[in-house]
Amino acid sequence: MTTPTLDNDSAWFSEIGAKEGLAFSLRVHGRLHAEQSPYQHIEIWDTHEFGKLMTIDGFVMLTSRDNFLYHEMMSHPALFTHPAPKRVVIVGGGDCGTLKEVLKHPGVEHALQVDIDERVTRLSELYFPELCESNHDPRAELHFGDGIQWMKDAAPGSVDLVIVDSTDPIGPAEGLFSAGFYRDVHRALGADGLVVQQSESPLLHYDSIIRPMHKAMREAGFGNIVTMPFPQPVYPSGWWSATLAGKNSVTDFRERDAQAKTFPTRYYNAAIHRGALAQPEFFLRSRAD
């Protein structure tokens, strides 16, 4: 990763993926904040065209301009797939953008966000206040701690939907991609329970992350799994995904409710949801292998 010079209009922030042989850059005015939390190095940048940028350990986490793509696809497909989601747990999601989208659903009675690093949330409140508008909703609860341990301790059948809004499967997030974690999630979910997890780039990480994730979810007891691709310009390859697993069907959803949703979105709608369920041919071929 290169470090731009502060207040230099020709400076660029670059995330270099040496293993993948690619890089992504944003032109920046300068760095607004940098700190080492107990868990990771967090930086906030002011970009020319993408608004504010948050990076963690040198990797792009979100920008003001395009985060809605990720947050909407991490929340609304799952919420409209569950027949009546009332109790939602978000593991990770410290920027609070997913929490905001979840609480757009009037039927949700309680949304708990469990993130290990409080500093991500506090910096989001300062630099991304639009994502934190629902933090004081009476249905919202912020808990700063280990999401893996929280799920181990959760009462059986106490949750309708688990959203794993994590960083890449390295460091503190590595355990969130394991069969053991999914077994704890399966136990905590009710009869119609669902889990959705960010699953990286279908182009770059299908064999290394998505296929092993499907295998681990099946081992944990989830018989119905689908990976939904969507665009995400600031993430490696520009093509990202969310993997949805359930105790029941994950391809049937409340389409009429999605069509008649009473809240605004910028990307998600019923047609986008239906389209995201269509699988690329190489997904289908790999399942036959």
pLDDT digits (tens, 9 = 90+) for 82-120: 999 999 999 999 999 999 999 999 999 999 999 999 999
Residues 192, 272: one domain?
A: yes
Length of the chain: 289
Rounded to two decimals, the pTM is: 0.94
Q: Confirm if 185 and 88 have CB atoms less than 8 A apart.
A: no
Domain membership flag for residue 248: yes
Residue located via tokens 């979840």: 102
Domain membership flag for residue 5: no
Looking at residue 170, what is its pLDDT?
60
Residues 43, 105: one domain?
A: no
Q: Give the span between the Cα atoms of 163 and 90, in whole angstroms.
A: 5
b/e 193-205 (16+ beta carbons within 10 angstroms → b): bbbbbbbbbbbbb
Residues 126, 108: one domain?
A: yes
CATH code for position 51? 2.30.140.10
Looking at residue 2, what is its pLDDT?
43
Residues 58, 77: one domain?
A: no
Domain membership flag for residue 45: yes
Residues 145, 77: one domain?
A: yes
Looking at residue 6, what is its pLDDT?
42
Domain membership flag for residue 4: no
Domain range holding 20?
Answer: 11-63
Residues 43, 75: one domain?
A: no
DSSP 173: G
- Give CA 85 to chain center in angstroms: 18
DSSP SS3 for 59: strand
Instruction: From the candidates 46, 115, 160, 165, give the one annotated as an active-site residue.
Output: 165
CATH code for position 139? 3.40.50.150
Compute φ and ψ for 219, nearest 5 degrees. -60, -30
Residues 79, 93: one domain?
A: yes
Domain membership flag for residue 133: yes
- 66 annotated active-site: no
Domain count, the chain: 2
Torsion of CA 228, 270, 61, 232, to 10 degrees: 70
Write out residues in the chain with pLDDT < 50, as ranges.
1-7
Compute φ and ψ for 121, nearest 5 degrees. -70, -45
In DSSP notation, 64-98 reads TTTHHHHHHHTTHHHHHHSSS--EEEEEE-TT-HH
Q: What is the CA radius of gyration of the chain?
A: 18
Looking at residue 9, what is its pLDDT?
57
Looking at residue 172, what is its pLDDT?
59
- Give CA 13 to chain center in angstroms: 23
Residues 254, 122: one domain?
A: yes
Q: Confirm if 106 and 76 have CB atoms less than 8 A apart.
A: no
**Distance (Å) of CA 251 to CA 183, 188, 244, 257, 274:** 22, 22, 9, 15, 8
Residues 262, 191: one domain?
A: yes
Residues 139, 270: one domain?
A: yes
Domain membership flag for residue 2: no
Domain membership flag for residue 1: no
The two structure tokens encoding residue 176:
């969130």
Name the nearest CA neighbour of 26 among 7, 40, 45, 43: 45
Looking at residue 97, what is its pLDDT?
98
Q: How open is the CA angle 214-219-221, to the nearest 5 degrees?
A: 100
Residues 28, 126: one domain?
A: no
What is the arrangement of strands in the sheet containing 22-36, beginning at the earlier edge strand?
Answer: 11-17, 22-36, 41-47, 52-56, 59-63
